[in-house]
Structure 1
Amino acid sequence: MAKSPRSKPLLAEDKPLRSRARKPRDPAQPNLPFDPMPARVEPCLALLKPRPPVGPDWLYEIKWDGYRIAVHLNNGNVRILTRGGHDWTQRFPGIEDAAKRLGVGSAILDGEAVVLDEEGRPDFGRLQNSLGGRGGKLTAGNAIMYAFDLLYFDGYDIRGMELTSRRYFLQSLLKGFEGEIRLSEALDGDGREIFTAACDHGLEGIIAKYKDAPYRSGRFGEWIKVKCIQSDSFIVVGYEHSMVARGGIGSLLLAARKGGDWVYVGSVGTGFSEKTAEQLRKMLDTIKSKKPPVVYSGRRKNLVWVQPTLIAEIEYRAWTHDGKLRHASYKGLREVQDNAAVYELDGPASNGSLA
């Protein structure tokens, strides 16, 4: 696989910035010019768009297919939090160890935990397997973190700085560092060409970020995501029982959210191995429901309805005219702790957006 184009280093000749761990602050000196370290920061989220913005005000990054995490480092103590705020430090021992070796007293790094395939591409299924699947308690020892933002650095909250300044400090922190925390490279150039290259390399897509924007929690359009292949989260509402299919599952029945209701959006019958299908069947049979959680007018037989509690990550090509997923493929179950957002319909299915 050809390497992604690299931007010109921000610190071409400078040495990496380093600091020594600071001692706990003296409460008798409340006016020390340091910012209190936040216990948690709600992440900045990217807005889904059909095409990337272009122009000199934007920089671009690879869209990593994994789990969004924040690494909190404070005087040698490390916490790794999921997007939903759950502590998964013990599940990423390699990333935890790397954070302790960064050589800075305090920092909060924003990024994505991924597992790479043989060609260096992130593989969500491998990450899930390394963690033991949904609800698993295994550690992902082979996971790495691609860091793309720095929110707190050496005693100072830098979220109010523009993105280019935050990346300056992030790059200086990771320059020459070897370990399970790596820099998510910023790519300069035409966003359309970068997006095409990402798709040609089999990647999920790109993220465009407004260079002068501060870090704001939530989804405000200062970060834009553009996907090569659609991949979103849907709720599992049942399965089609089969005597010949793997695990007895002919296909999973899926739904999206619309207001306070679930809307049936089709099924997926590919993407799971025999082992995965057997694990799914065991989970599904513990949450069977006598009544369907969605309005269903199809002609499928041997349907088994379940309570809408499992969230599946589904890759698909497009929507049909009647609001169903086209060419869907199962990628894995999302963790509740990952705060996975179920696809939300704000009108016709083809105009849906992530919650």
Structure 2
Amino acid sequence: MLFTPIKPMLLQMGNNTEIMDNPEWIYDIKWDGWRILLHKQGDRVEAYTRHGNNVTAKFPELQDIGRSINEHTAIIDCEGVVLRNGVSVFDDFAYRGRVTNASKIEQATITHPATFVAFDVLATEKTLTNKLLVERKEILSSIIEPSNSILVTPSITGNGSSIFQITKDKGMEGIVGKRNNSTYKTNHRSHEWLKYKHFKIADVVILGYKENPFTMLVGKQLSSGKYKPLANVEFGFKPEEKTAFREIAKQIVTQVERDMIWLEPRLHCKVQYLERTASGSLRIVSFKGFNFDKIPEVTNK
């Protein structure tokens, strides 16, 4: 188990209207970064992604983390993030994941310092996966000395609706709810672990589309008059919406380029998205209906 790739336990999507204020549930902040499993034995610390990639060389911060874990041996489940005013910024941690040049990695520890937010522990000197979540969290808090590079995520028992509202007000991704008696099942997506995300709505213009699979390219108009693509939208379409769209789209085709059918920017729609990246693109997007009344905002960004 130690220093080998582990597929972590995964979350199911919860319904935001069904967040349970129940003392049998523990709620954590949902941090927006990369799922990372930290392995430690003595002075050796390695980091693995949820897909099993060893990314240790990308994070010199791991040298400090080893001194903050008060156990000779440990496997800790974390979210790797870059924090800006206490809020995780996905693009900034993704940048850390892309950098390969050694000098740029060192520079990034200053401009994009990584923090590993721990929320579970799989093992110390012995395997802990069969212990209850509430017990594992007690062990986790007892073995980590918080620092700039590693901390334990705050948790609250019950009262999920309150922390959900707090994270919304702070512009965070959302929360995670877990049964306090859940055991840790590797490579398993469990209904005992639920994620609740804050989504937003944007008014956008349809710039083009593809058929296989059916995907809309949506964007916005800049103050220069040009259009900037924001997202490829693959999900959320009803069959009748696709049919109606195709009838309208064939009248405003401007160009067919490989598998992309470009359109006059005249048809607008609403999309749901999780967040905007630093470049303004939308992440985790789904279609929410045509918008025949409102014209998208014009911006300089």
Same fold (TM over 0.5): yes
Instruction: Kindly indicate whether residue 33 of structure 2 is the aligned counterpart of residue 66 of structure 1.
Output: yes
Q: Which residue of 1 aligns with 2:204?
A: none
Q: Which amino acid aligns with 1:254?
A: N
Match of 2:132 in 1: 162
Given the alignment of the two structures, is residue 127 of structure 1 paired with residue 93 of structure 2, yes or no? Answer: yes
- Using the size of structure 1 for normalisation, the TM-score is 0.58
**Is contact 1:239–1:303 with CA below 8 Å preserved after alignment?**
no
1:225 aligned partner: 195
More helix by share: 2
Q: Percent identity?
A: 24
| Secondary structure at 2:88 match in 1 | coil
Q: What is the Cα-based RMSD across aligned positions, in Å?
A: 4.1
Query: In 1, distance between residues paired with 2:64 and 2:231?
Result: 41
1:180 and 2:149 equivalent? Answer: yes
Q: What 5-or-longer segments of structure 1 have no aligned partner? A: 1-35, 267-294, 308-321, 334-341, 351-355
Q: For 1:162-205, what per-residue CA distance to the aligned partner results, in whole angstroms no more than 9, with x for missing partners?
A: 0011111100011x443401011112341112211211122111
1:147–1:300 distance in 2 versus 1, CA, 3 Å: farther
Kept after mapping to 1: 8 A contact 2:219/2:230: no
Which consecutive aligned stretches of 4+ in structure 1 deviate over 4 angstroms post-superposition? Answer: 130-133, 135-138, 235-246, 302-307, 326-330
2:58 equivalent in structure 1: 91
Tell me how far 1:237 sits from its aligned partner: 7.0
CA contact (8 A) 1:143 1:180 kept: yes
Counterpart of 1:46 in 2: which secondary structure? strand
State how many pairs are aligned. 249
SS in 1 for 2:165: helix
**Counterpart in the other structure of 1:191:** 160
- Distance change >3 Å, CA 300–CA 332, structure 1 → 2: farther
Return the offset for 1:128: 2.8
For 2:28 and 2:219, the matched residues in 1 are separated by: 42
Aligned mates of 1:205, 1:296 — CA distance in 2 = 38
5+ residue gaps, structure 2: 202-212, 261-267, 289-301
Does residue 152 of structure 1 match 2:123?
yes
CA displacement at 1:102 relative to structure 2: 2.1
Structure with higher strand content: 2
Query: How many Å apart are 1:79 and its aligned residue?
Result: 1.4
Q: Given the alignment of the two structures, is residue 47 of structure 1 paired with residue 25 of structure 2, yes or no?
A: no
TM-score, scaled relative to structure 2: 0.68
The reply on whether 1:102 has 2:69 as its aligned counterpart is yes
Partner of 2:292: none
Q: Secondary structure at the match of 1:178?
A: coil
Please give the alpha-carbon distance, in whole angstroms, between the structure 2 residues aligned to 1:129 and 1:245: 29
1:203 to 172, 183, 186: 172
Matched-pair contact (CA < 8 Å) for 2:25–2:177:
yes
